[in-house]
Structure 1
């Protein structure tokens, strides 16, 4: 959960606003109101007097005050993250996740999806491993990248054209920009070509899977 020395909490005083934003973001992600969060906090770490109120949580989230260490630990339990994440020591919710994202370049969402697949659909992991190990997967990534760039470029050009059309007061004054239209068409053709190549590459991956299964079946028969 991230190890924090008690006295170290004071060095985060200047980060109160950022810490407050992170607490608010995590609370909303959990679908909790400030009042519901105070109830959860009291359930985890009850006090003799119920001194935690909605105004206290609001004060944390607005960066006016910092939660005491025991509340930070309770918040981390509720939000399922490391204390150090709330304190802004690293950008991912858990240190292991932060290290993995740093090493692979994966986004937090991509990593969360992978972990969810492993937990909810463990049978899919072999399929994912096969896809990543496939000789054709690099080409799939390439065409996804190229398709994404082409679609973004076309979208940008269409936005430019739309802006020009809106600036025309009289339709009779409109003269089509043939160069722009040709560039849009060429970009769309490139995107369509990438889509076709993607389908082809996925077809190759399916063929590769067929060969793999056939090879394993033949090996088991020989054994």
Structure 2
């Protein structure tokens, strides 16, 4: 994998980790404590300076009570992964709100295909 792609991946994975941390109401300090690492190490992961190992992703997923895939699926450019991410976004919405979003996505997709 080219270095530029690794850097991009580190940034988007770090962003997803930060998003899960804040959604869970956790501080970087609490995550660092759980992982038994320094706060600066958590910051470096979230800023995309370093790409976490699979083991570290597993530990983070346990802390955030999610699947490892949840931390990387949002960053994928594969349609199936993107669909899974959209599914998770829709899951907490009412039927009417989901229908409205589907209409919007259909309209956008149709327009962009032209």
| TM-score of the aligned structures, taking structure 1 as reference length | 0.34
State the Cα RMSD in Å.
Answer: 3.1
- Counterpart among 24, 27, 38 of residue 32 in structure 2: 38
1:54 pairs with 2:46: no
1:69-117 deviation line (CA, Å, top 9, x unaligned): 211101111122222231223347xxxxx2892xxxxx62x41358xxx
Structure scoring higher RCO (CA < 8 A, sep ≥ 6) equals 2
Q: Is the 8 A contact 1:23 1:61 kept in 2?
A: yes
Residues 99, 36 of structure 1: alpha-carbon distance in 2 compared, 3 angstrom cutoff: closer
- In structure 1, the gaps of 5 or more residues are 1-9, 43-51, 93-97, 102-106, 115-131, 133-140, 146-223
Structure 1 CA distance for aligned equivalents of residues 12 and 70 of structure 2: 11
Q: Is the 8 A contact 1:17 1:64 kept in 2?
A: yes
| Structure 1 segments (4+ residues) deviating >3 Å | none
Rg comparison, structure with higher value: 1
1:27 pairs with 2:26: no
Structure 2 CA distance for aligned equivalents of residues 100 and 28 of structure 1: 19
| TM-score of the aligned structures, taking structure 2 as reference length | 0.61
- In structure 2, the gaps of 5 or more residues are 101-114
In the comparison of the two structures, how many residue pairs are matched?
88
SS, match of residue 26 in structure 1: helix
1:112 pairs with 2:106: no
1:13 pairs with 2:33: no
Structure 2 CA distance for aligned equivalents of residues 18 and 99 of structure 1: 14
Residues 111, 21 of structure 1: alpha-carbon distance in 2 compared, 3 angstrom cutoff: same
Structure 2 CA distance for aligned equivalents of residues 56 and 34 of structure 1: 9
SS, match of residue 92 in structure 2: helix
1:65 pairs with 2:50: yes
